[in-house]
Structure 1
Amino acid sequence: MVFQCQRDSWARQFATRVVSCRAAELRPEGGGEPVRGFQPDDRGLIGDVPVLRVTRRGPEAVHFVQAALEPGAEVLLSLDWERRFDHMQQHSGQHLITAIAEQMFGFKTTSWELGRQRSVIELDTPSMTAEQVEALERSVNEKIRERVPVMVRELAADDPEIETVRSRGLPDDHAGPVRVVDIEGIDSNMCCGTHVSNLSDLQVIKLLGTEKGKKNKINLVFLAGNRVLKSVEQSHSTEKALTSLLKNGPGEHVEAVKRLQSSVKLLQKNNLNLLRDIAVLIARDFKSKPVQSQLFVLHRKEGDSEFMNIIANEIGTETRRALVILEQDPSLCPQETLLFLTVGDEKEAGLFLLAGPVEAVENLGPRVAELLGGKGAGKRGRFQGKATKMSRRGEVQALLQEFVSHGSPEA
């Protein structure tokens, strides 16, 4: 079966009849709740009903829509032309790149992916030099400027000519004639996709370079036609914004950003040193008090795990000294302090640390994490993790105060 889109990829509308319609369920791409609707067998806008997805099942094109259509009814199919033409450009561009890459370097295409923003051709080679990429790009664009015709033929399934065209094989459920796409003098390939009628319709191809692919293969990334124009437009908008922000010309952007990165690294280093000093001072201030509280609570928006652990370490030093005194004179030893430290947003995401007596921390740590809507882990008198509900710090403090006051938190 050859579909209307394959016989005439340029047709934007055509009239047809609904063959059948049945209830179906579609799970959106990327997951999520299924959309309930009906599944007739045509493409585009069917009347005024949007088509959400089209799949091929043997000789039938199955269309998913969200409104039932009457079998036998005459309907007008209207095409999303911008999307169709984009696919035509990328697909014909892939055929051209694949053919020229094999002719120039012997690199065979093993698969390809038409992405939403860029397309990728998997080449059966472990590497491709920048010079080869440049030469390939120059060659394919020469063919575009030569206005080479692209033709579609339909051959009978038993036609011996089928053996002479490039192919990755037919689907098991294929029925009807075999469709062959010819780029005159360049390539002949068995294909069921939509294509341009002349390479000049591609406008231009830009090869964005290669990425590591599967074992001993590379992925060649490319843009064709209108995607190149959109990429240039986006790059130009970015360039204008950077010129305004950096107060210099495009040729100086990279060096300006490098200078900014160096300044940021230095500021970050200085900030970390200041945070460490502040942590030490906070701990020493606590230890200098004649009577130390059994519960120490602190929140600081600017901070990290190291900041909290420095405070815990400094106060912990005093605890260890107290344990030594205990062996000589129990009356001189204060009770070990329970510390609840948090950093980050005051109401939403942040980090927390619970430190103090081992048994108390083991019992209270999971409850603290639960109250803060986070997760954590701990050992040797420390329990720390990430939180999503920092607004509940007051509830945690109440829980810990109950513990230090009565020896056990309220149930």
Structure 2
Amino acid sequence: MSKLYQMDPYLLQYRSEITGHVEQSGRVGVLIKDNIFYPAGGGQPADRGTLVCARRSYEVVDVEQTPAGIVHWLAGTDAPAVGAGIFMRVDAERRLDHMQQHHGQHIISAVFEQQYGWATTGFHLGEQTGTIDLAVSELSDQVLQQVEAEANQIVMENLPVQVKTYRRSELSPDLLQKVPPGEQEVRLVIIPGLDENPCCGTHPRYTGETGPIKLLKTEKVRGQVRLHFVCGGRTVHWMWQTYIWQRRLEQAIGAAGQEAVSRLAKRESELKKLQKERKELLQFKYHCLAEAQVPQALQVSGALVLLQHWPEADMDMLRGLAAAWCGKPGRVAVLAGGHGPYDLLLARGAGVAWPVNRLAEVLWPLCQGKGGGNAEVAQGKAQILPLPEMQQIIADFNRQFS
């Protein structure tokens, strides 16, 4: 089986024949004599495309290197017969995108290694961005800016990209460290004077075909830095999306550029101040609301029980009301909110012997609800809210602890 994708990554259509079938976990795949589809490997996803046989098309949804050979997994359960002639067509847009991202990774990694001595320990080409893992604990914005500028300079110089195969014995000790032990023939992707690395992926003929490179963000992973980036068409898309988002933000803020940043920072500061004031006012509001309910509260064996439904209340409001009510000793709150299904919250203050989670266990069947909690606080959802029956259960429940 010849790997034509390595010899000519621009070869996107080819005629060949089916040499075998593979079935696995309900999937059907085919082996092909001459292969132009790249199988997943080395951080690069597989190609996709179609096979045409006897005027019928078969969708190639994945390509995988296996001990049996390169398997082309097909959509559905039908496949061309062994020996049948086929016409292969690779998804050209996907192939170009992968070539741009993968070669961009080679350029970025080479700059990091040459300029800073930081090796790339991992590469992944995702649907939105590519990532490399760098053997360094931190990466400053200044370094990112310098590396991005250098990488794009290499792109603009449009340097030739060479692909050569060597025997293991011909490689330098540094390159041998990057080659699996059993591999005797090694394919190198070379940018003369800049980089040479063992690689099985698809690459362009010139660095200029990589297109603009943009370094996006970093994150720490297992003590190293993971860098997200985009190249070529993805960079152009990123630039347009960033422009759209920036324009919308500036319109919302009513200013542009640095003035927009300054106004946003000022608004954030004001918002934090208002949120703090709101929290303090809410506590005062809940205290006033709770104390206003004292005349309606139930005296149950020395405990003051507030059984109340606030249709406008959500669970946050119920928690605030319960905290205000139970801030005084000898009080129990059984509060409901909403219009159905209802939020239900139970809480007790100091000096109350009732474990409210046990009271809740008695109320859930009556209210057609469920929830959980502990002796101090319990909460959940109720489908119905029969307040008179709930009041009777509370009175009966209290006798167990009188």
Q: TM-score, normalised by structure 2?
A: 0.78
Match of 1:310 among 311, 319, 323: 323
1:290-318 residue CA offsets vs partner (Å, 9 max, x unmatched): 8669661334038346413324315x54x
SS in 2 for 1:303: helix
State the Cα distance separating 1:401 from its structure 2 match: 4.5
Evaluate the alpha carbon distance shift between residue 306 and residue 363 of structure 1 in structure 2; reply closer, same or farther with a 3 A threshold: closer
Is contact 1:181-1:188 (8 Å) kept?
A: yes
Q: 1:130 maps to which residue?
A: 141
Aligned equivalents of 1:62 and 1:402: distance in 2?
Answer: 71
State the Cα distance separating 1:375 from its structure 2 match: 5.0
Is 1:61 the counterpart of 2:32 in the alignment? Answer: no
Match of 2:259 among 252, 258, 268: 252
SS in 1 for 2:70: strand
Is contact 1:365-1:383 (8 Å) kept?
A: no
Aligned equivalents of 1:212 and 1:77: distance in 2?
Answer: 42
1:233-259 residue CA offsets vs partner (Å, 9 max, x unmatched): 111010121122222223322222223
Evaluate the alpha carbon distance shift between residue 123 and residue 22 of structure 1 in structure 2; reply closer, same or farther with a 3 A threshold: closer
Is contact 2:347-2:377 (8 Å) kept?
A: yes
State the Cα distance separating 1:82 from its structure 2 match: 2.0
- The alignment's C-alpha RMSD in Å is 3.4
Is contact 2:100-2:231 (8 Å) kept?
A: yes
Match of 2:358 among 346, 357, 363: 363
Is contact 2:51-2:88 (8 Å) kept?
A: yes
State the Cα distance separating 1:274 from its structure 2 match: 3.4
Q: 1:376 maps to which residue?
A: 372
Q: 2:220 maps to which residue?
A: 212
Is contact 1:100-1:139 (8 Å) kept?
A: yes
State the Cα distance separating 1:399 from its structure 2 match: 7.0
Ranges in structure 1 where 5+ consecutive residues have no aligned partner = 26-35, 321-336
Q: 2:196 maps to which residue?
A: 188
Evaluate the alpha carbon distance shift between residue 406 and residue 268 of structure 1 in structure 2; reply closer, same or farther with a 3 A threshold: same
Q: TM-score, normalised by structure 1?
A: 0.76
Q: 1:404 maps to which residue?
A: 394
Is contact 2:165-2:186 (8 Å) kept?
A: yes
Aligned equivalents of 2:297 and 2:211: distance in 1?
Answer: 81
Q: 1:29 maps to which residue?
A: none
Q: 1:274 maps to which residue?
A: 281
SS in 2 for 1:143: helix
SS in 2 for 1:280: helix
Q: 1:232 maps to which residue?
A: 239
Is 1:46 the counterpart of 2:12 in the alignment? Answer: no
1:92-151 residue CA offsets vs partner (Å, 9 max, x unmatched): 111112222222222222222222222222222333443333332222222211111112
**Structure with a larger share of its residues in strand:** 2
Moved more, 82-91 or 61-70: 61-70
AA matched with 1:53: D
Q: 1:140 maps to which residue?
A: 151
Evaluate the alpha carbon distance shift between residue 210 and residue 37 of structure 1 in structure 2; reply closer, same or farther with a 3 A threshold: closer
Is contact 1:149-1:184 (8 Å) kept?
A: yes
Aligned equivalents of 1:19 and 1:109: distance in 2?
Answer: 38
1:250-299 residue CA offsets vs partner (Å, 9 max, x unmatched): 33222222233233333333433333233222222221348669661334
Q: 2:335 maps to which residue?
A: 341
AA matched with 1:51: V
AA matched with 1:247: G
State the Cα distance separating 1:58 from its structure 2 match: 3.9
Is 1:241 the counterpart of 2:248 in the alignment? Answer: yes
Is 1:9 the counterpart of 2:20 in the alignment? Answer: no
Is 1:23 the counterpart of 2:23 in the alignment? Answer: yes
Evaluate the alpha carbon distance shift between residue 57 and residue 375 of structure 1 in structure 2; reply closer, same or farther with a 3 A threshold: farther
Ranges in structure 2 where 5+ consecutive residues have no aligned partner = 38-48
Match of 2:291 among 269, 284, 293: 284
SS in 1 for 2:316: coil
